[in-house]
Amino acid sequence: MPGEVLIAYATKYGSTVEVAEAIAKTLERAGIATDLRDARSVGDLRGYHAVVFGAPLYNARMLRAGRRFLARHHRELAGMPVAVFALGPLGTSEEERATTQKQFDRSLAHRSEIRPLSTALFGGVIDQSKLRFPDKLASPLRPLFPFTDVRDWDAIEAWATGLVDALSLRKQN
């Protein structure tokens, strides 16, 4: 497929970039050229065939760097194939997942001109050893959030594999 797929990510502690890297590897194994970049470093989208974008959700909203990426590039994103993923729930209950899905949907609704061909919500990570100010000050919450990593790597790979087909079909049309 001609043209690269930009895989842009916003991350606070590194877990979102790990998911973005896994998605890039899946696309590359399928013969799709990718360019993995921190969303803050993306100047424009010229030369890209499609964009896969990911960001974590904190306090019921997308990380600021993610919101800024979508705002800065909304016109270009509206005219090209886009897939969006988010990391969010720290638990596995249906109730938590449903609540986080609503938060993700609200984040995307702020940029309704961008119509992703695929979206996915994956579990998140909390590693207290990586916390920085002001998150580090939330010590009363620490017993509630021990080290947690609920990313489902099989689901991430399955979603990325689905993108191979979606991006390939979209390019032919």
Type of residue found at 63: L
Distance CA 74, CA 66 (A): 12
Segment 116-125 mean pLDDT: 91
Distance CA 154, CA 145 (A): 24
How crowded is residue 55: how many other Cβ atoms within 10 Å of its Cβ?
Answer: 30
Note the pLDDT tens digit of each residue in 33-85. Answer: 999 999 999 999 999 999 999 999 987 889 999 999 999 999 999 999 999 99
The CATH superfamily holding the domain 4-172 is Flavodoxin domain (3.40.50.360)
Q: Model pTM?
A: 0.85
Task: Provide the pLDDT for residue 172.
Answer: 47
Does residue 19 contact residue 54 with C-beta atoms inside 8 Å?
Answer: yes
Domain boundaries defined on the chain: 4-172
Above 50 in pLDDT, residue 90?
Answer: yes
Does residue 125 contact residue 15 with C-beta atoms inside 8 Å?
Answer: yes
